[in-house]
Structure 1
Amino acid sequence: MASDLFTDAPALPTADDVRAAAELLRGVAHRTPVMTSRTLDERLGATVFFKCENLQRGGAFKFRGAYNAVSRLTDEERARGVLAYSSGNHAQAVALTGRLLGVRTTIVMPEDAPASKIEGTRGYGAEVILYDKETQSREELAAQLSQERGMSLIPPYDYADVVAGQGTAALELIEETGPLDALLTPCGGGGLLSGSALAAQAASPGCRVIGVEPELADDATRSFRTGTVQSVRNPPTIADGLRTPALGRITFPLVRAHVSDMRTVTEAGIVEAMRFLWTRMKIVVEPSGAVPLAALLADPDAFRGMRIGIIVSGGNVDLANACQLFGA
């Protein structure tokens, strides 16, 4: 499916907004470690740096955007509470942020979201409302609830302060590693990819920013190539964090303007990348977080001799599902 280019788009975040978010998050978000693998570098003929956002608060980079967004609401808006929709990582991030800031949170989640993510969201104190994604639209349900309850809606990616917050992970990575030749991030709705592109443009000019998504959920890649917003509906990829239907009114123009390329990977490739990260690097990563490495493993010649950054987006994996994927 395709739609026309967005009109009357809201103001887009800038690299200055990413820097401002970094200051706000200082001392609140974890400055996650950067890891390397000599085995992988020798295999690829490249130098690869992994920004381990699986070790971020809430288990994913999403905490950065959620905290930045909720923190910038007015006192009156916070008092009315915050509502979000998510398959898991943004859900937990908003719930955790609400607990830290004393803000009531309600999260709309699909019934088939990983149990660990539903439990984690509830554990942070949020009210969870489950919906059937085959018969209901999370956007419509969230909009209805937001209006009925008077709560501020913080979407998972198409929100300027969320995008700016997500970009701080790439900013930290480049501050630690120095200039990069390429930066690869997973892409669902494009929040992490957009924010990372803004950060890289400012901190490492000349760095090629590449978004990676599953072949089964390739809407952003098609949007990037065609110049019109393409969509998917409930793609059956194991990368549950990347099942978003389309890029948004903020993320689409940012991706088009600042991203160098998009790539897709197979489901088998995602599992192979997960297996390497778990067994060789001892990094517990969910399928979505393994997607960028899958792109490197699938086409190493394209990156030979480069200094490459990868955002490991999250580690909120359901253990039973992971065992199934690994054939245990």
Structure 2
Amino acid sequence: MTVTASTSAALSAAWEVDGPYTLLSTVGPLQCGPQDPTVVFSDGSVWIAFRNDDGAATLRLTQRGSLRSSSVHATAWGPGASLALVSVPRLVGLPDDWSAFDAFGDSLPELARKGRYLNPGLRLPATERMLDAVVRVILEQKVTGLEAKRAWRYLVSRFGSPAPAAPGAPALRLPPTAEQWRRVPSWEWHRAGVDAKRSAAALRAAGVASSLERLAGHDSAEVRAGLCSIPGIGVWTAAEVLQRTHGCPDSISVGDFHLAAFVGAALTGQRTDDAGMLELLSPWAGQRQRVVRMLYASGFRKQAYGPRLSPEDHRQR
């Protein structure tokens, strides 16, 4: 990486990508819905606002070139700009290695092979920012995606801070700090549609934010154990966090409302439960999350039966 000063207030860097790569599909899971004020896709660029040890940063990411021969370009503004550039390779999945997955070859499920063929440039990103991911995933516990996205947008917009100014940047907000999360009044959690159980778990996470951030440098087993020691955080939340913060290729979201049924339908034509899902995925231990991602990427969708999980308006309680 070569860092250059593009303006008096910005730093820029670029990385040549080894192998097929698509920036937008790789970092897509980091956005909490199209109105997420912390991650914005605009005119082929990805804008992200976050904090690191040096302070706040606004980061712009673009990909140049073709699928199989490209480079990632980053420009960062704010006091955290230098460290933001250091974080870019893992953030955009450049070190992510699919060789162990590809080595399974024809033993992989047909739909997983199809997903890989259709999406050769997709990689697993790793933000290494624990508190931001933990709070976001807590908001997603046992509610619809629509509810979780609305809650995140409302709370970040109201209690986060403006991101460092950058030419041409959209209206970005920084996720709240631990102190800002702790200052959110109970009635504001209520207005965001977040029930008392989830808000209490988020506040407990904010209370141990320093310990959480130290987990960024640990392996998956240690992170999982550390997260699950916090009341209100279980195996589903830990797995979802690891997928975002560490790009973990094997973290399966046991306890998800839809996942087991989806995996069962994709692999056998029949729905299954969590135990059945883990048994089905066991031949690809170490790469199970990649298998799941490729099943989704194949375009397969399970048949729907009965009513969907409906949003609940906790603000009326």
Normalised-by-shorter TM-score class: under 0.3
Q: TM-score, normalised by structure 2?
A: 0.25
Higher relative contact order (CA 8 A, sep 6+): 1
The alignment's TM-score, normalised by the length of structure 1, stands at 0.25
Considering only CA atoms, is the larger Rg found in Structure 1 or Structure 2?
2
